[in-house]
A and B are shown apart, each in its own frame.
Chain A
Amino acid sequence: MASIAQEFTKGFWKEIPPFRLVLGICAALAVTKSLVDGFGMGIALIFVLVCSNIIISMLRKVIPKKVRLACYIVIIATFVVIVELITQAYVYSLYEALGIFIPLIVVNCIILGRAEAFASKKSVLRSALDGLGIGAGYTLALVFLGALREILGRGTLFAGSQYVINLFGPSFKPYAFMVEAPGAFVCLGLLLGIMNVLGD
């Protein structure tokens, strides 16, 4: 059995969701137009993932096998609504940027996957750490992807926050393709390939 620390750290490399598990791709492609968007999405996901993992792990003896998916969805949806309302209230610009992808966290396969494969079998502590690790890994990946796309496609970093940095000066003509949807696919594909070369 993996040590407690490993439950946490595996999410950063060994099971980093978009690259290793190839889960959560839909959101990863859609919200990584900039670093800040990616980061916001990651944080929202961490919150939902950790909370739902804890609750599901606590209730794992109670939930009947046959209706477990419905139960998980209800739990997950609850936290998603919380996240949605909070972002709407306090970080409205992020709420605008993420749009439909916040409600869609409900069906994000990472969360359901962790619930089904991990939280429903393991103790509360392990589940919480797993959620934190996987969520942090996901955030890391989104930040990286978002940064790459933002640098190439806009020539900036931290766009959408107060700390916008214009990396290449005003005469830079950004490679706008990278912030378009096909650019996201190309970027993600290349990163996946690089991970496969580096990994193992």
Chain B
Amino acid sequence: MKSGAANVLIVDDEQIVRVSLENWLKADGHFVSSAASGRDALAVINDKPWDILLLDIKMPKMGGIELLQRVKEIKPDAYVVMMTAYASVESAVDAMKKGAYDYLMKPFEPEELRMIITRIMEKRSLERENLSMKRRIDDESPGFEEIVGECTAMKEVFQLVRDVADTESTVLITGESGTGKELVAKAIHANSVRKYMPFVPVSLGALPETLVESELFGHEKGAFTGAVYAKRGRFELADGGTLFLDEIGDVSPKTQVDLLRVLQERKFTRIGGTAEINSDVRIIAATNRPLKDLVGQGKFRDDLFYRLNVVSIHIPPLRERAGDIILLAHRFLKKYATKTSKPVNAFSNEALDILRKYHWPGNVRELENSIERAFVVVKGDTIKSNHLPFSIQGTEGQVNTESLTEVEKHHIRRVLAEYGWNITQAAKALEIDRVTLYNKIKKYDFKEEV
């Protein structure tokens, strides 16, 4: 291909025409699908960001012109090229008026079709450029406002995100659990030309090995027991957009090979299928494990590592971003004040101190959870040290000046929240029986917060 591979949809009722066009277009490096009728075409119109639709004008039932109109209703920006026999030049002209981009008179010179495709692909890439220019002008940094970070390390992360967003580079994000890897991946997507296309996350560590393959690549009906329907995999769902492969360090050797192959060839087949599916995805991978070490130990393929690690972004743990802890705490304070409609607007100094000193092994996620939990027990407008979970209060915690009843009350509330108001489990944790717990709930007038 001279100007980038195009996703082409051929619609023609004659099989021989479909096959011959397919052969020719594929030879030129394009990705081709075909439909035998207008109905079949409309069924797949939303499956892919088609670059070019090649429609035969003369088809039984829904003719090419009618199909053109329907397509234009669904996708006003679609590039439609009509194919017509010599006898129907007039309808070709009619088609141009109705929004076709061009027409080809059968039989045509191969070079004619090649030129039309080149022109359309140039326009498409121009449109994409304009879109990204426009984006630069009308919003500074979408996707960033959500991410808190004033320390140098995070500013470096933001700069990297900006630099890499508009490239097609594969990105590897590393950092401990809960440091915000997914958030950064989303920011990259939101700042890229793909922002209007899907961002599809898949957490590879959470999936059993047997499901990983079908989750990623999809399967055909009947591919294995239980495959009652054909299913599209994440690679297909992310077509045109960004695929976020979380916990990449946890994948099996088999899946590593599968992934390597798609990264190299940009195409794959569904389980139990034979058709090759092309997917235009940008890959962002993340891991909280030391991938480089895993490579050294032979647990992670080095070729896959190098494919993924084209650009790497490391997010430092929260304990190394001292200044950000308090900023984040206030961000979450606002968030949960709004969410719970509680008039809470401050932390006590002791509470802030605890937050500063704690080592946050669960990073930002743990900080957010702590504050969410504090909202369950807080009264008044200030979060105090005793509202924070015991686990983070540390050994040198302050003397608690509350009365015994107060302490009991808070403790029960916390435990209830911890167990999602599962009375049996909460009673067990408190080492009291369920009736006693019910009575205390009644006495303190607790209600489950939703």
Whether both chains belong to one complex is answered with no
Give B contacts to A, CB under 8 Å: none
**Chain A residues near B (Cβ < 8 Å):** none
